[in-house]
Amino acid sequence: MFRIFFIFANKLGKDILIMNEVLLMNIRNRAATWLTESYDEQTRSEVQALLDNEDPTELIESFYKDLEFGTGGLRGIMGVGSNRMNIYTVGAATQGYSNYLKKEFSHLKQIKVVIGHDCRNNSRRFAEIAAQVFSANGIYVYLYDDLRPTPEVSFTIRLLGCQGGIILTASHNPKEYNGYKAYWSDGAQMVSPHDKNTIGEVNMIRSASAIRFDGDNELIEIIGEDIDRRYVEALTSISLSKDIIDRQYDIKIVYTPIHGTGVRLVPDTLKAFGFSNIIHVDEQDVVSGDFPTVVSPNPEEPAALAMAVEKAKATDAELVLATDPDADRVGVAVKNNKGEWELLNGHQTALLFVYYLIARRKELGLIKGKEYIVKTIVTTELIRTIAEQNGVETFDVYTGFKWIADIMRQNEGRLDFIGGGEESFGFLCEDFVRDKDAVSACAILAEMTAWAKDNGKTLYGLLQSIYADYGYSKETGISLVKQGKSGAEEIEAMMKNFRKNPPKDIAGSKVAYIYDYANLVGYSCNDNETFTLRMPTTSNVLQYIAEDKTKISIRPSGTEPKIKFYLEVHIKVANESELPEAERLALDKIEQIKRTLSI
């Protein structure tokens, strides 16, 4: 028996070895296509170095697949190869996008696009390459003169009546990454059918020879400060508390762009709202794609805000704001009741936005029964509670602001948009931008702080009063990083296991519902019945909902090599004095959930 097993195992090992050799040979053949005259000399040299290296790891990672143009565009590590961000993958994406724009808008005399970029290494170069490819295809290009926030690109598409646009950014990813976000004529990231059709066109570009790099400079217009001025003017129109800001104009606000695009426009917008005491973190005002003062430029991580918090302590500030490199996400730190600085999570920030925008509108008599807010399915359900109790409709969407923008598109002219947000530190307070906007978010957070102070509260105190009035919730996000091809396979296996073996109870509460968005099927555990989930498309997300309202959401990231877990528990409270005990109980529940999921 053991001999038979040994022979089988030995044969299996040989089979795997043969498979790996075949895979490596295919990858070498793919890499060899990048040695032709269609590619520049530096690229050919770098590819040859990968082929000559005895260790094939980097060769495999660079060429084992094509960097996928997904529904939001491209994102990947910079370098040579089909699975890397470089002028050829950017060129192919732009050529495919150009081909689709020309098909879809063939009736127009002139198709127009906007191009922006962030602070990352190679972002300007990639933006200029994209401008050359668009213009070579007869498309008129508005190219920003320097780095700009992602939401300003969305604003500009709508302002100038363009048919599309792109921004070169990898958001809050580490410095090795860059990315390419594509937009449609409404200023939003594309949804069906345009996303799939664009992907199809991009996938048809199989070699560099199919990319038109011979740009027409007559079709490229440099834009800049005039659009900035119009953007900031538009943002000031959303202020709800100008009179209060007049009284609280000098609250101390520490702001850091974390070396990114918010460096000028966030302070300019705060000043336009009426705030005069903006404190800079000088070291992080330095624009750099190397992000020299942080390990990761992600405002979700406490380390990214550490310097700003220290500045706040030194200056006795009242609010800390930090934006990611492309200024579409905002991190917030506030003083708690002990005078200690705390970072708010994305659920809490979204909760504050929704509460303030609804409560202040009610004070001003602006709630007419036609208002709505949008949140993602993994964002705290306490938002829905607040909205519903104040006569405001709630829409649930998938993670990704293109889905929030899609709801805005559907409701345009019918309902009034108050705001939309997601737990990953993105929020939108205005309807003339169709992507998350940290520039406006910073201004509204400052205004909210002024409003709270005018009512004798801190921003932290305002959050505590929300919990006391609507119930306490605690949310925790856990991301497991799984790099490369093997990591992607491990994430896929984990999702299969969670679907096949769902928990029967969560921290002592019976699982009541299971929602599998991959096939749009919901399951009622109590009734043993299935039902259809009403969403525009499928998505690889799995949710467990317990009888005590505990919610677990599991999904692979669409932009990073991670599997993400979103844990949410609810505790009933009668008043603010019960909040410390509620937090203790919530944390205990979360630990139980983590053990249940083995994470």
Average pLDDT, the chain: 94
Q: How many residues does the chain have?
A: 599
Confidence of residue 559 (pLDDT cuts 50, 70, 90): low
What contacts 29, CB < 8 A, 6 or more positions away? none
pLDDT for 68:
85
Give 598's pLDDT tier (boundaries 50, 70, 90).
confident
Does 241-470 match 473-597 in CATH topology?
A: no
Per-residue pLDDT at 14 exceeds 70: no
Residue 158 has pLDDT above 70, yes or no: yes
On the CB side of 444, CA atoms within 13 Å amount to: 27
Active-site annotation, residues: 171
Tell me 67's DSSP state: P
Residue 45's pLDDT is what? Answer: 97
Superfamily of domain 241-470: Alpha-D-Glucose-1,6-Bisphosphate, subunit A, domain 3 (3.40.120.10)
Read out DSSP for 153-209? HHHHHHHTT-SEEEEE--TTS-TTEEEEEEEETTSSB--TTHHHHHHHHHHT--SGG
Is 90 exceeded by the pLDDT of residue 44? yes
Q: Are 441 and 429 in contact (CB under 8 A)?
A: yes
First to last CA, the chain: 38
**What value does the mean pLDDT take over residues 471-486?**
90
Average pLDDT over residues 288-313: 96
Check pLDDT > 90 for residue 3.
Answer: no
Q: Report whether pLDDT(569) > 80.
A: yes
CATH architecture of the domain with residue range 473-597 = 2-Layer Sandwich (3.30)
Q: What are the extents of the domains in the chain?
A: 1-64, 68-223, 241-470, 473-597
Q: What is the pLDDT of residue 486?
A: 82
Structure confidence at residue 488 (pLDDT): 87
- 420 contacts 374 by C-beta, under 8 angstroms: yes
Helix (H) or strand (E) holding 472: strand 472-481
pLDDT at res. 13? 47
Helix (H) or strand (E) holding 271: helix 262-273
- Residue 69: which pLDDT band, with cuts at 50, 70 and 90? confident
Predicted local distance difference test score (pLDDT) of residue 427:
98
**Coil, helix or strand at residue 506:** strand
pLDDT-based confidence at 21, cuts 50/70/90?
confident
In the predicted model, is pLDDT for residue 31 greater than 70?
Answer: yes
- Contact 523/530 with Cβ under 8 angstroms? yes
Is it the case that residue 11 has pLDDT exceeding 90?
no
Is 150:435 a contact under the CB 8 Å cutoff? yes
68-223 CATH fold: Alpha-D-Glucose-1,6-Bisphosphate; Chain A, domain 3 (3.40.120)
**What does the alpha-carbon distance between residue 475 and residue 568 come to, in Å, rounded to a whole number?**
4
3-class secondary structure for 367-432?
A: CCCCEEEEEECCCCCHHHHHHHHCCCEEEEECCCHHHHHHHHHHHCCCCEEEEEEECCCEEECCCC
- Contact between residue 542 and residue 456 where contact means Cβ atoms under 8 Å apart: no
Share of the chain above pLDDT 90, in %: 90
Over residues 147-167, the mean pLDDT reads 98
pLDDT in tens, 380-425: 999 999 999 999 999 999 988 999 999 999 999 999 999 999 999 9
Task: Provide the β-strand partners of residue 542.
Answer: 516, 554
| Mean pLDDT for the stretch of residues 535-549 | 95
pLDDT higher than threshold 90 for residue 19: no
489 token code pair:
């396979």
More confident residue, 19 or 599: 599
Asked, as a colleague might, if the bond just before 193 is cis with ω within 30 of 0, I would say yes
Decide: pTM greater than 0.95: no
Mean local confidence (pLDDT), 430-451: 98
Orientation of helix 150-159 relative to helix 438-454, angle to 10°: 110
Distance CA(63)–CA(83), nearest Å, equals 5
Can you spell out the DSSP letters for 300-357?
TSGGGGHHHHHHHHHHT-SEEEEE-TTS--EEEEEE-TTS-EEEPPHHHHHHHHHHHH
Cα torsion angle, 223, 229, 234, 238, sign: positive
